[in-house]
Amino acid sequence: MTAAGCADTGTEGSTQPSATVDSAATSSPAETAPTDPIGPASSPTGSPERPEVPEEGVVVADVAADDAQEQAVADVAIAYWEAIFAMYAEAKVDRAAFARVAQGRAFDMPVGYVGELQRDGLRQRGGAVMTVLDVTMGRSSAEVRSCFVNQALNFTTDGRPAEQPLPFFVVRNVLVPQGGGWRVSRSITVSENEVCDR
């Protein structure tokens, strides 16, 4: 999965979507053995194993929320990413449903990217494990920082991969209150292909 269309680059004022990972700049699997960005599958304390990457869509491994309000904000960020993975797999947008979790650039960029997928005859296959690393509540907004262990890729109609893998990425979603709930208004790529912080 490319982060293009779903997130701004890490610079706060940027309007450019993240680019697909350049195959010339990407090490082959034989050259690098990426470490698990969110730790071992089970902790020494015996906590349950982290879910495996699903064949399609997003599963959530953990949510670092301190209270019900932070959990509610995290739930919207999770719903946002579930919607994105579904839209990219189908190359179709349910605008009314997506508008319940996104607005502004966080709405427009993924919708535009679906148009690119349709135009280029591409579909996303594969899923990701999402870990909400932290939730920060502000006076007029909230932020959710999440790590993804990702196996999603765009494929051509004849089944060929159309991009290089993006096995790990971290995003920061900015959410604003609207209509008694929350909406993602910005999605900013913090890092790509780097292990996630804990």
State pTM to two decimals.
0.79
Q: Which residues contact 78 (CB under 8 A, 6 or more apart)?
A: 58, 60, 63, 130, 132
The DSSP result for 156-188, as a single string, is -TTS-B-S----EEEEEEEEEEETTEEEEEEEE
Domain ranges of the chain: 56-192
pLDDT at 186 > cutoff 60: yes
32: Cα within 13 Å, side-chain hemisphere: 11
**Residue type, position 198, single letter:** R
pLDDT at residue 6 in the model: 55
pLDDT at residue 137 in the model: 97
| Banded model confidence at residue 195, pLDDT cuts 50, 70, 90 | confident
Between 158 and 24, name the one with better pLDDT: 158
pLDDT at 45 > cutoff 60: no
pLDDT at 37 > cutoff 70: no
Provide CATH code, domain 56-192.
Answer: 3.10.450.240
Question: How far does CA 101 lie from the centroid of its chain?
Answer: 14
What's the whole-number mean pLDDT along residues 79-101? 97
pLDDT at residue 13 in the model: 37
pLDDT at residue 136 in the model: 98
pLDDT at residue 7 in the model: 55
CA dist 117 and 113 (Å) reads: 6
pLDDT at 22 > cutoff 60: no
What's the whole-number mean pLDDT along residues 124-140? 96
